[in-house]
Amino acid sequence: MDAPLPGHAALRDAGPYVWLSRYDIGAVARYEQVRAVLADWKTFSSARGVGMEDFEVHGRFRLPSLILEADPPEHSVSRDILSRVLSPLVLKTLRERFFEEADLLVSELLERRTFDGIKDLAEAYPLRVFPDAIGMSRDGREKLLPHADMLFNSFGPRNALFQASADKANFAWVDQQGRREMLQPGGLGMMVHDAAERKSMPPEKAAMLVRALLQAGLDTTINGLGATLHCLLQAPDQWLLLRQDPSLARAAFDEAIRLESPVQTFFRTATRDTTLGEIAVNSGDKVLMFLGAANRDPRQWAAPDRYDIMRRTIGHVGFGAGIHACVGQLLSKLEAEALLSTFARRVRSMEMTASPERRYNNTLRGLATLPVAIR
Ligand code: OVM
């Protein structure tokens, strides 16, 4: 279940910058160096890909993301558009809907008593609110998760996991969903198009930014919600704290993001010779950042393996850091607040009824199943 943890510890202890000869890439697993790489976008570029492949050596697997796989100044334009659309002011307009949907879902689950915490809660809730918030068409929404599974696999090696998910890729379809005429007025997707137009960004590029939201916004949040539920089930004292004060829902989510790090890894490419913790980094090195390892680094965190919703989680790298820090994190936190505070207010007791099963992906950490009973 916790298979990566000893490996992460070994990577941290091996040094501030380690070489993975099997793949011929560099890696950082200590908090200090992961932060340093994230903070220095000039030296550690995203424009050559944030997966294992270097676009300049291996070519491109898909049309590059205009935000994820870009450096300033191109990145700044995209970032500005998406951060406006995902700003607190805009998200306030979604709040009421999100709480209503949370109430409906929790009512259904309370009636059922036993359910799968992944499929019926962690997946069900974002699937109800997120595509509607974007304003995406009803048709084909079931394609979103298999597509995201493939995409997050594609950041890693071309291994059996990737191959097994590769035929679920659906770029033609997902590219189509980002186009203005596919989107409902008033939704976040249309807002992206409007904001892009004001910045004279061509509509094809605006569609690619909407595509980025569709690809990045669902699977990540789902694994964050699943991680939170799993953490709470394993730490009854923390579940009690949350029940006594449901306003801790955001803290419970953020601490689960730190501890479980649903997005485990991203890469950068060194643009010049440099050093990390006095170890040489060569221009052109691919650098793998172990976000999950940094988030449990005992050099940084007291009792790093403990789930503690009262902890000061500020500075964790579960949402990244620096100019590429998750642009949708406020949306994910709104979803988490609505769902988890409602759940904590209305559920008196819960327990796992069988062992959960892991879901394997080259980038994402999460569960396939989490059988629970609630009252
Ligand atoms: C994108 C994209 C896709 C997947 C993940 C992600 C977590 C971004 O297309 O920009 O960031």
pLDDT tens figures, 347-373: 999 999 999 999 999 999 999 999 999
pLDDT band per the 50, 70, 90 thresholds, residue 59: confident
Q: H-type helices in 217-358, by residue range? A: 219-234, 236-244, 249-260, 291-294, 329-346
Q: Which of 23, 28, 29, 33 is nearest to 8 (CA)?
A: 29
Q: Give me 119's structure tokens.
A: 């499929």
pLDDT tens figures, 266-295: 999 999 999 999 999 999 999 999 999 999
Phi, psi of 368 (to 5 degrees): -90, -40
| Ligand 1 atom at minimal distance to the Cα of residue 263 | 7
CA-nearest residue, atom 6 of ligand 1: 216
3-state secondary structure of 254: helix
Distance from Cα 154 to the centre of ligand 1, integer Å:
11
**Is residue 1 over pLDDT 60?**
no
Residue 242: predicted pLDDT:
98
Please report where in the chains the tokens 């394993």 appear, as a residue.
234
CA-nearest residue, atom 3 of ligand 1: 216
Overall average pLDDT of the 235-263 stretch: 98
Q: Give me 206's structure tokens.
A: 């605006």
Distance from Cα 206 to the centre of ligand 1, integer Å:
15
- How far is CA 116 from each of CA 109, 254, 325, 330, 351, rounded to the nearest angstrom? 10, 22, 31, 26, 12
| Other residues' Cβ atoms within 10 Å of the Cβ of residue 10 | 12
**Is residue 3 over pLDDT 90?**
no
Residues 6+ apart with CB under 8 A from 113: 373, 374, 375
Helix axes 249-260, 329-346, angle to 10 degrees: 120
Of 138-142, 177-181, 343-347, minimum mean pLDDT range = 138-142
* Domain limits, the chain: 4-374
- Percent over 90 (pLDDT), the chain: 95
Residue 171: predicted pLDDT:
84
| Ligand 1 atom at minimal distance to the Cα of residue 67 | 10
Distance from Cα 235 to the centre of ligand 1, integer Å:
31
**Is residue 197 over pLDDT 80?**
yes
Distance from Cα 217 to the centre of ligand 1, integer Å:
8
CA-nearest residue, atom 4 of ligand 1: 216
| Cβ atoms 243, 250 nearer than 8 A | no
Q: What is the distance, to the nearest Å, from the Cα of residue 28 to the centroid of all Cα atoms in its chain? A: 19
Q: Give me 220's structure tokens.
A: 């990540």
CA-nearest residue, atom 9 of ligand 1: 212
| Amino acid, res. 44 | F
CA-nearest residue, atom 7 of ligand 1: 216
Peptide bond into 202 cis (omega under 30): no
| Cβ atoms 149, 222 nearer than 8 A | no
3-state secondary structure of 290: strand
- Architecture of the structural domain at 4-374: Orthogonal Bundle (1.10)
3-state secondary structure of 174: helix
Residues forming a β-bridge with 270: 44
Q: Ligand 1: list residues with CB < 6 Å.
A: 65, 67-68, 151, 212, 215-216
CA-nearest residue, atom 8 of ligand 1: 216
pLDDT band per the 50, 70, 90 thresholds, residue 63: confident
| Ligand 1 atom at minimal distance to the Cα of residue 66 | 10
Q: What is the C-alpha to C-alpha distance for residues 228 and 231, in angstroms, rounded to an integer? A: 5
| Ligand 1 atom at minimal distance to the Cα of residue 220 | 7
| Ligand 1 atom at minimal distance to the Cα of residue 152 | 4
Q: Give me 138's structure tokens.
A: 């009803």
Residues forming a β-bridge with 114: 373
Residue 281: predicted pLDDT:
98
pLDDT tens figures, 308-337: 999 999 999 999 999 999 999 999 999 999
**Is residue 69 over pLDDT 80?**
yes
| Cβ atoms 283, 312 nearer than 8 A | no
CA-nearest residue, atom 10 of ligand 1: 212
